[in-house]
Amino acid sequence: MIHHPPAGARDLLPLEVAQKACINDQLQQTFHRWGYQRIVTSTLEWLDTLVAGGAISAHKVIQLQDRGEGRLGLRPELTASIARAVVTRMTDNQPQRLCYRANVFRNPPEGYHGKQMEFFQAGIELLFAGGVRADAEILLLLTDCLTQLGLTDWQLILGDAGLTRSLLAKLPTPLQASVRDCITRLDYVELSQLPYPDDAAKNLALQLFDLRGTVEEVLGRLAQLNLEGECLARVDRLQALLSLVAASGDGPSNLVLDLSWLQPFDYYTGMVFQAVSRQTDNCYVLGQGGRYDQLLSQYHPQRQSFPGTGFSLNIEELHQCLLELGTLPTSTATIDYLVCPVDDAAEGAAFRHAQQLRRQHPDRRVELDLGGRSPEELHTYAETTAVGQIVWVGADGQVEATPADL
C-alpha cells in the first residue's frame, strides 16, 4: 500500500516551507510596522461561530463530530473567529489592530473531489474603527505588503457591497437573486433574458452589469442613475475614500472599480476588494477583503454592532506568483559547520564542541555527523549541500576545521 495524504491535502517539503516562511516573515514585519499585533485563534470552532449568522455557508465548513453542545468545524477563514475572540475577550472598544498567519480549511464545491481543502493565509483585522480613514489604511497597508514582497504588476479591484445591494434593491424582489447570480457569473445573455416586469427594470439590471472599469468611467455611469438617499451617501463615501488614498501618494497604481462584484462571504457591508496579478498565462488572486460592520454583533451578548474591516493574503497564490518572478530562495538555509568526531572515542568531545559553536554563534547552523560515512563521503555531502566548514574533533578535544570543498 502506498500511503499519501487524503484528497485535497498535501505535504510541504523543506524548500517550499522556507519559501513560504520568507513570504510570511516579510508580511508580518510589514503588519508590525503599521502597529498590528498578532492574534492566534482556535483551529476548531463551533459551527455556529463559523457560519457567522448565515453569512458563510455551512457547506464550506469541514464539519467534525457533534459534542452534544453543537457541531465542531475547521475554520474556513479567520475573520469570524477573530470577531468572536475580540467581542468576548477584548472589552476595550478602542481601535484594535490585529494580524495573523494561519491555515484555513474549506470543503471543495460539489463535483470537485481532490480539489485543495487546506490553505495558508496571512492577514489583518482593524476593529472598532468605522471611518473612511480606516478603509484607506487597509488599502494602503495592502499596497505596502505587496510592494515589500517585490510585486509591482498587480491590480486592485474595488467594489462596495452595500452600494451594490442598495442598487439591487431597486429591482423587483423576485428578480434580485437571479440578477445578482447572473452578474456574479458575468452572464450577460441570461441577464438580458430574465422576465423583467418592464423596460426600466431591465435597463437598470443591464446598467448594474456594466458598473466596472476605470474610476472615471464607473463614477460617470453612476451619475446617470439619478441616485439618492443611501445610494448617494455610499457613492459620496466611496469618492472620499478614493480621494484619500490618492492623496497619500502610496495607493495602488492600477485600480479598477467594480460595483457589480460581491465577495463569496456574505458578511461584507461596505468596500470589498481583491488584489490580482497576471503572470504569463496565469491569473493569481493574491488577496481579498473588505468592511464588515454587522459581523461582530453575531458574537456580542447584547447583539451590539461594531465596525470592522480587514484583508487576507493567499500564501499559495503569492508563492506561485513570486516563483514566476524568481524572487524566492532557491535552496534551504545552508549548514555553517559540520562537526565530525574522528572516531567513536571522540563522540563526547564532538557533541561538546557542537554545543560550544551553537552558543558562540547563535545565528549560525551547526550539524553533527551521526556516523556511517567515510571522510570522502562527508566531503561529498558537504560540497553538495553547501556546508561552510567541516570541523574534525578528536577525543582529546583537539579541533581541525577544513573548508568543505577541499
- Continuous segment of H or E residues that includes residue 391: strand 389-393
Total domains present in the chain = 2
What is the spatial distance between Cα 70 and Cα 67, in angstroms, rounded to a whole number? 6
- Do 70 and 149 have their domain in common? yes
- Do 319 and 341 have their domain in common? no
What is the spatial distance between Cα 401 and Cα 334, in angstroms, rounded to a whole number? 17
- Do 362 and 221 have their domain in common? no
- Do 78 and 22 have their domain in common? yes
| pLDDT on residue 265 | 65
- Do 159 and 27 have their domain in common? yes
- Tell me the pLDDT tens digit for each residue of 73-95: 999 999 999 999 999 888 777 89
Residue finishing a domain among 273, 299, 325: 325
Q: Specify the 3-state DSSP secondary structure of 127.
A: strand
- Tell me: pLDDT of 113 over 70: no
Residue finishing a domain among 325, 357, 378: 325
The domain in which residue 129 lies consists of: 14-325
For residue 233, give the C-alpha cell.
451617501
- Tell me: pLDDT of 285 over 90: yes
Average pLDDT over residues 117-145: 96
Please state whether 269 falls in left (phi above 0), alpha (psi between -120 and 50) or beta.
Answer: alpha
- Do 138 and 53 have their domain in common? yes
Query: Where residue 46 falls among pLDDT bands split at 50, 70, 90?
Result: very high
- Tell me: pLDDT of 405 over 90: no
351 residue type, one letter: F
Q: Which residue did the predictor score with more confidence, 264 or 38?
A: 38
Query: Where residue 244 falls among pLDDT bands split at 50, 70, 90?
Result: very high
- Do 275 and 373 have their domain in common? no
- Mean pLDDT score of the chain, rounded to an integer? 90
What is the spatial distance between Cα 278 and Cα 164, in angstroms, rounded to a whole number? 26
Average pLDDT over residues 90-114: 84
In angstroms, the first-to-last Cα distance of the chain is: 44
What is the spatial distance between Cα 350 and Cα 369, in angstroms, rounded to a whole number? 9
Residue finishing a domain among 305, 325, 345: 325
- Tell me the pLDDT tens digit for each residue of 332-366: 889 999 999 999 999 999 999 999 999 999 999 99
* CATH number of the domain residue 240 falls in: 3.30.930.10
| pLDDT on residue 1 | 62
Q: Say if residues 282 and 319 touch (Cβ distance below 8 Å).
A: no
Global confidence as pTM:
0.89
Residue 24 lies in a domain: yes
- Do 220 and 278 have their domain in common? yes
- Tell me: pLDDT of 406 over 60: no
